A and B are shown apart, each in its own frame.
Chain A
Amino acid sequence: MISYGLKISKKGKDARTATGRDLIYNSEENYLFIQKEGLILRSAVTTAIPHGLTYFPTGMLWGDNTSQEYFKANIGDANAPVGLDMTIDNYEANLTHSGSAEGNQLYYIIFNDPVSYG
């Protein structure tokens, strides 16, 4: 068993011996946690979200159309009634929703992990 940290098993599994997917969480392993998240109402095609990190993080974006159907970025106008894109640099994330309706909802997350060129 690990000698420090936190280990949580699935119900019915022994946390002292469980491995892999039988563990809900094991602090010896790596997970992406969400450094920043938000739910915004679209007021412009592109919304800039400063992430406050000093490096390039990763993230994800979902947004809806006028029927409150949610898509995951990136997706183009060609195949859905919503165009969603997310770009990230070392200062901010830019969320683009090219749909025509004001008030569409966007849910974004920015992970803690830095991208690298290794």
Chain B
Amino acid sequence: MDNYGLKILKRNKPITAIDPRDIQFTSSKNFLRFHKKLRGSIATDGSGNGSLLLNHGLKYPPPFFSFIKATAEKPDDAGTTVANAWFSSEGEEHAWYFGGKDFSNEGSFNSKTTSEVLQLVVAGNTINSSFETTGLIFINPIQYFSGKGVTPISDYGLKVSRSEKDVFLENIYNTVFNSVNKPPRLVKTGTKKIALSAYSTLDGEDVQTVDVEHGLGYAPFFIVYVRGTDIDGNIWRIEPRISLGPVDDIVGSYEAFVTNNIIRFSCWRWAKDEGFFGQVTWDAEDVYFRYYLFDEPLNAD
């Protein structure tokens, strides 16, 4: 351990412990810490495209997570509508897939930050004319930045500077912890598996889902990681995930969404174009989803 700062061990662990799994808090490490939550709506044009610019108030590009909810309910793979379903941004076109088993209902949602704004973009959607969005902005700078004038920390509470940084500096990004910018608190975490069957001929597409009831009463900020044993081997990837199948004519999409009560994990496998329907195969595969749910609601301030 560094011989400065503050360190709190998990209960019943000795203060000399060095395994990161035993440490509850250490001022030698950083946290992602909230700066601001940005909420807004995106109206789309006749082509299903729309965008939204939201000022984040920092002078550098910050780390962010963004989420979208269709104003119409999303059908699940059985055609049942699911209210208040929030998806994370990014991914390719089919990763954000409103239509259940209907290929025609789809769209993409991307987002990015600059030194001034968070931009949220919907493209080619075929189901809604407007969408609710939430962006979570963190103070940690993601580019080289040495400017001043970023919101100073008030002079109460706890403030721990980065190693070799003056704790009295007013730039909040030079702290590893402070009593203004809250780190996201974990409220539920776990791993869920979907066992996918082998197909000798995949006719159209195959959709498998599994739910975890979180019971929080709000749609929480979430991060999900995916590991597909057949496609990805012994590695984890960030959700949503698109993968090519063992033959190049199949695509797999692994995604998640949250509602006020559940987080749902989905595996979608389909032939890349209709010309291959009924002609392609897929191996059996176990797909693991590692999920983290936090105390920050996506659908409330």
Contact = CB atoms under 8 A, between A and B. Distances in A.
Nearest to B233: A89
B131 interface: no
Contacts of A10: 182
Contacts of A58: 223, 225, 236, 290, 292
A55 B26 CA distance: 20
Interface residues of A, number: 58
A53 B22 CA distance: 13
A79 interface: yes
A101 interface: no
Interface residues of B, number: 70
B143 interface: yes
Given A8-B158, A61-B238, A107-B143, A116 B110 contact: no
B112 A69 contact: yes
User: Max chain A CB contacts within 10 Å: which of B92, B112, B186?
Assistant: B112
A87 B232 contact: yes
11 contacts: A24-B182, A39-B142, A62-B63, A69-B113, A69-B119, A70-B64, A75-B91, A79-B92, A79-B110, A86-B237, A89-B234
Interface of B: 6, 8, 11, 20-21, 23-26, 29-32, 61, 63-66, 89-93, 108, 110-115, 119, 123, 140, 142-144, 154, 156-158, 177, 179-186, 189-191, 193, 223, 225, 227, 232, 234-238, 240-242, 288, 290, 292, 295-296
Interface of A: 4-6, 8, 10-11, 20-21, 23-27, 29-35, 37, 39, 53, 55-56, 58, 60-62, 64, 68-76, 78-80, 85-89, 94, 105, 107, 109, 112-118
